[in-house]
């Protein structure tokens, strides 16, 4: 699928919010001072009890759908049902008004 416009790489919004964001890392990486060695600016927090988490543990994302995509027509079916979306004429506050 071709892109509708040239891709322009810019500093993304997440890069400006280091004080409000976290990296979840292993306890071993914290003990080995890996965040400092990599010069990470965000706070790093060790994860725990996450080895056995499955989709069923997720509060709002526990469904597993059967998704089919036709590579010739780009038709998408979810659980055998064809889905579609209407195109829009304009996007309010889209790229032109994105502020950091």
Q: Is residue 73 part of a domain?
A: no
Q: Is residue 93 part of a domain?
A: no
Q: Is residue 63 part of a domain?
A: no
Q: Is residue 78 part of a domain?
A: no
Q: Is residue 66 part of a domain?
A: no
> Where residue 100 falls among pLDDT bands split at 50, 70, 90?
low
The Cα angle at residue 10 between residues 4 and 12, in degrees rounded to 5: 105
d(CA 4, CA 88): 14
Tens digit of each residue's pLDDT (9 = 90 or more) over 39-98: 988 899 999 988 898 888 888 888 888 999 999 999 999 999 999 888 878 777 666 555
Closest CA to 1 of 48, 100, 69: 69
How many domains does the chain fold into?
A: 1
The residues near 11 (Cβ < 8 Å, ≥ 6 apart) are: 100
pLDDT of residue 9: 66
Q: Is residue 84 part of a domain?
A: no
Domain encompassing residue 30: 1-52
The residues facing 94 across adjacent strands are none
Tens digit of each residue's pLDDT (9 = 90 or more) over 8-35: 666 666 666 777 888 999 999 999 999 9
């Amino acid at each position: 699928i071709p892109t509708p416009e040239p891709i322009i790489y810019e500093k993304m919004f997440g890069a400006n919010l280091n004080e409000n964001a976290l990296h979840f890392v292993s306890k071993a990486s914290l003990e080995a001072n890996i965040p400092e060695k990599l010069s990470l600016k965000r706070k790093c927090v060790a994860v725990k009890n996450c080895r056995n988490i499955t989709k069923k543990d997720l509060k709002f994302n526990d469904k597993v759908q059967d998704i089919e995509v036709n590579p010739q027509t780009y038709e998408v079916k979810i659980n055998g049902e064809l889905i579609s979306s209407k195109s829009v004429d304009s996007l309010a506050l889209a790229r032109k008004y994105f502020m950091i």
